[in-house]
Amino acid sequence: MEVVMNAEGLVEVVLPGTVEPEGLQVRSGGAVPSPGPGQVVIKMEATGVSFAEQQMRRGRYYDQPPFPFVPGYDLVGTVAATGEGVAPATAGTRVAALVKVGGWASHVVVDAADVVEVPDGVGAAEAETLVINGITAWQMLHRKARVRAGQTVVVYGANGGVGSVLVQLAHAAGAKVIGTASTRHHAALREQGVTPVDYRAGDVAARIRELAPGGVDAVFDHVGGRGIVDSWRLLAPGGTLVSYGSASTRDDRGSKQWPVLKLLGRVWLWNALPNRRRAYFYNAWAGRSLAKNRFRARLRHDLTQVFAAFQRGDITARIAAQLPLTRVAEAVRLAESGTVAGKVVLTP
């Protein structure tokens, strides 16, 4: 891994192309950016490795920018500088931001309207585990599936970053949870009240049907691929499928858009049929280009709800590991290993 060290200044991780984790470049010594009108500079305290970055380094994320670029889907930090038109009192506050790219850096410029204040008493690493994972879980559960008490839901990857938050929010809503995971995570899932299913042991859908012969009220599927049809067939009348990724195609070759387009096509077709079930392809960025103010208000509301749920004890911050930005290759390897529960967090 290339590490370029100069004078004090900006530190950032650059993804130069489709490389192994050791091919990520840590660069130091650049000028710390200045905020423009309506912007703030966040001094990063925690960012993390999401599934998006695992796809990006393979060139497989469906709308990633051209190489080279700085990855990093979200971050938490302190406002270090404010631009024209931003209240000076904002400086010094701890905030969270969803950025899609750019978060793996010591200082990040963000529109002030896009930051959400982190409540007092919530640590930076804790908050980081709840930004994209928490927003995704909250919006899928409450805005898409609208899960209610007494319902039964299936969470694929119940030990993962999004899955672990989904499990806890579903329980807080009064739902029963069936969760898929490898056997090493089953004991921990049972302690949380989840009925675990080994996703490596043959026909997962058949095992879930044994547990819920009448069908389930919601399925949250990040795997995609051919298995999405099984997820749809698991639904009871009135049930909702929320697809939010195509993990099964992470290591594929060819078009990165095609797996997503196929999923969207299936969703459109299923919703056109008179079958009393619904399907969604969840995208955290949906609506941003058409209605930016509404998107920002919804994001602020939902992340505030996630932080409140954390403060109530409804959800916990699952930190799989904390590593400094300079050890990003190790962090990516760990996140991709499938051996950890929760999120791998990067610190300055």
Q: At 82, which CATH number?
A: 3.90.180.10
Residues 168 and 37 in one domain: no
Confidence (pLDDT) at 7: 40
The pLDDT score that the predictor gives to residue 254 is: 62
pLDDT of residue 17: 97
Burial class (CB in 10 A: 0-12, 13-18, 19+), 8: exposed
CA–chain centroid gap for 213, Å, is 31
For the cut 70, the answer to whether the pLDDT of residue 252 exceeds it is no
Give the Cα-Cα-Cα angle 118, 122, 128 (nearest 5 degrees). Answer: 70
Query: Tens digit of pLDDT for each residue in 220-247?
Result: 999 888 889 999 999 999 999 999 987 6
User: Of 143, 149, 77, whose CA–CA distance to 109 is shortest?
Assistant: 77
For residue range 332-348, what is the model confidence (pLDDT) as tens digits? Answer: 999 999 788 889 999 99
Q: Is residue 150 domain-shared with residue 114, that is, in the same domain?
A: no
At residue 6, does pLDDT exceed 50? no
Whether residue 289 is contained in a domain is answered as: no
Phi, psi of 154, rounded to the nearest 5 degrees: -110, 130
Amino acid 2: pLDDT: 35
Note whether residue 198 is domain-resident.
Answer: yes
The pLDDT value recorded for residue 103 is 98
In a domain, 125, yes or no: no
Domain end position, chosen among 234, 257, 281: 281
CATH code for the domain of 257: 3.40.50.720
Pair (52, 143) in one structural domain: no
Q: Are 47 and 128 in contact (CB under 8 A)?
A: yes
Contact 263, 68 (CB under 8 A): no
Question: In this structure, are 98 and 135 located in the same domain?
Answer: no
- Quote the domain boundaries for residue 42: 10-118+318-346
**AA identity, residue 21:** P
Do 160 and 250 belong together in one domain?
A: yes
Of 44, 119, 48, 39, residue with least CA distance to 82: 39
The answer to whether residue 63 is domain-embedded is yes
Pick from 43-52, 81-90, 225-234, 299-308: least confident: 225-234
Query: Long-range contacts made by residues 28-36, C-beta under 8 angstroms, separation at least 24?
Result: 28/3, 28/4, 29/4, 29/5, 32/106, 32/107, 33/107, 33/108, 33/109, 34/81, 34/83, 34/109, 35/81, 35/82, 35/83, 35/86, 35/109, 36/83, 36/84, 36/109
Distance CA 32, CA 71 (A): 17
Q: Are 140 and 243 contained in the same domain? A: yes
In the chain, what percentage of residues exceed pLDDT 90? 81
Confirm whether 233 is domain-assigned: yes
Question: How far apart (Å, rounded) are the C-alpha atoms in residues 308 and 207?
Answer: 35
Do 157 and 268 have their domain in common? Answer: yes
Average pLDDT over residues 76-95: 97
Backbone angles phi, psi at 33, to 5 degrees: -65, 155
Tokens linked to 43: 């001094």
Q: Are residues 137 and 246 in the same domain?
A: yes
Is 143 a member of any domain?
A: yes
- Total domains in the chain come to 2
What is the per-residue pLDDT for 129? 96
Calculate the average pLDDT of the chain. Answer: 92
Mean predicted confidence (pLDDT) in 270-284: 92
Closest-CA residue to 113 (of 297, 318, 339): 297
Same structural domain for residues 138 and 276? yes
> Tell me: the pLDDT tens digits for 11-70?
999 999 999 999 999 999 999 999 999 999 999 999 999 999 999 999 988 889 999 999
Please report whether residue 142 resides in a domain.
yes
Same-domain pairing of 73 and 108:
yes
Q: Is residue 301 part of a domain?
A: no
DSSP 67: S
The residue-averaged pLDDT of 82-92 equals: 96
Q: Are residues 213 and 277 in the same domain?
A: yes
Query: What is the pLDDT at residue 258?
Result: 73
The reported pLDDT for the residue numbered 247 is: 63
Q: What is the band of 3 on the pLDDT scale with cuts at 50, 70, 90?
A: very low
| pLDDT, mean of residues 168-190 | 96
Residues 243 and 169 in one domain: yes
